[in-house]
Homo-oligomer: A and B are copies of this chain.
Amino acid sequence: MQAILDRIAKTIGASTERGQVATYIPDLAQVDPNQFGIAVCLANGQEYFAGDARTPFSIQSVSKVFAVALALGKVGDGLWRYVGREPSGLAFDSIMLLERERGIPRNPFINAGAIVTTDTYLAGSTPAEALGGLLRFVRDAAEDNDIHINDAVARGEMDTADRNFALAHYMKSHGNLSQDAQHTMGTYCHQCAIDMSCLQLARAGRFLMGGAAGPRLVTPERARRIQALMMTCGHYDGSGDFAFRVGLPGKSGVGGGILVINPGVASIAVWSPGLNAYGNSKLGTEAMEALAQELDWSVFS
């Protein structure tokens, strides 16, 4: 396994066509595109990593996985009153379907759905308490207290969050936001600004994979269901393509990170800042495709 990761880091990780780094937040725009990290936590407890696997990066939308687990922990299936479970077929920040479906977003992994998810775990708490609870969940999952929210990124997020504010206000206008839009958006932007390394992220993903390694934070049934959402909705309008090429459930973020689960076998995190046309890490996707092919990993075999 170590040899495989080393080879992937050396070949794919050094590719000259690296995609485009997200530019809308100053702190993200300045990230060095020539970075690549990968880490694998096996169900038997073994860990492997290569490249910049210990460098923290902004996990951005990968945080939606932890947020949905937290919200389900709080309200259970009540969450599905506010958000659907279907792929959207459109871009991550599209507002069209929201009009069509009267303010109920398609799934918790597009921006609108994640904002509702945040709104759900925020209800009844202050933003500080809610974010404290989220960080605690992530730290418990990773068994690592050195995981933090990057305030500069969170502020940059807020300053450029007009599209997300539009989504939040739109849902609010349909009565599908319990908190003030400003309030929910502040929490959401901080949620997106969690910094983690590949190794931390792979460890934090173990609660989904089953097996002996890592803490047990959700029931097996809930873990399966979250993976189902990752498979059908985890890569925005590139979800079908990822399922087709990689065959494993994953969730990407515009920081260039992807968390992928091979159920019962492994939790994998890969990171490279450059993005493809769907807004998913270009080299990260290619690395996952290579890894899955090399190891014959697929939920469909």
Chain A interface (Cβ within 8 Å of chain B)? 84-90, 94-100, 106-107, 162-163, 165-170, 172-173, 181, 210, 220, 223-225, 227-229, 231-233, 237-241, 243-244, 247, 249, 261, 263-264, 298-301
Question: Are the C-beta atoms of B86 and A86 separated by less than 8 Å?
Answer: no
* With A88-B89, A163-B170: A239-B244 Cβ-Cβ less than 8 Å: no
Copies per complex of this chain: 4
Are A162 and B166 interface neighbours, CB within 8 A?
no
13 contacts between A and B (CB under 8 A): A86-B87, A87-B89, A95-B95, A95-B98, A95-B170, A162-B173, A165-B165, A224-B247, A224-B298, A225-B247, A225-B300, A229-B244, A231-B231
Chain B contacts of A165 at CB under 8 A?
165-166, 169, 181
B contact residues around A162 at 8 Å (CB): 169-170, 172-173, 181
What distance in Å separates the Cβ of A93 from its nearest Cβ neighbour in chain B? 8
| Residue of chain B at shortest CB distance from A226 | B300
Indicate the member of A87, A210, A247 with the most B CB atoms within 10 Å.
Answer: A87
Q: Which residues of B contact A173 (CB under 8 A)?
A: 162-163, 166
What is the bound-complex CA distance between A96 and B97, given in angstroms? 8
Within the complex, what minimum Cβ distance (angstroms) separates A289 from chain B?
12
- Report which of B84, B94, B167 forms a contact with A166, defined as CB distance below 8 A: B167
Q: Determine the distance from Cα of A118 to Cα of B88 in the docked complex, in whole angstroms.
A: 26
Q: How far is the CA of A298 from the CA of B299 in the complex (A)?
A: 9
CA distance A170 to B238 in the complex (A): 23
The answer to whether A263 touches B299 (Cβ under 8 A) is yes
Contact A97 B89 (CB under 8 A): yes
Docked complex Cα distance between A263 and B248 (Å): 13
> In the complex, which residues of chain B have a beta carbon less than 8 angstroms from the beta carbon of A231?
231-232, 243, 300
- Whether A249 lies near B87 (C-beta < 8 A) is no
Residue in B closest to A233 when the chains form the complex, CB atoms: B240
Contact of A224 among B96, B249, B263, B300 (CB under 8 A): B300
Please name all residues of chain B whose beta carbon is closer than 8 Å to the beta carbon of A88 when the two chains form the complex: 89
Say whether A220 contacts B301, CB under 8 Å.
yes
B85 in contact with A95 (CB, 8 Å): no
Report Cα–Cα, A238/B228, bound state, in Å. Answer: 13
- Docked CA distance A127–B210 (Å): 50
Of A166, A261, A300, chain B has the most CB atoms within 10 Å of the CB of A300
Question: Which residue of chain B lies nearest to A296 when distances are taken between CB atoms in the complex?
Answer: B220
Q: B85 and A106: CB pair below 8 A?
A: no
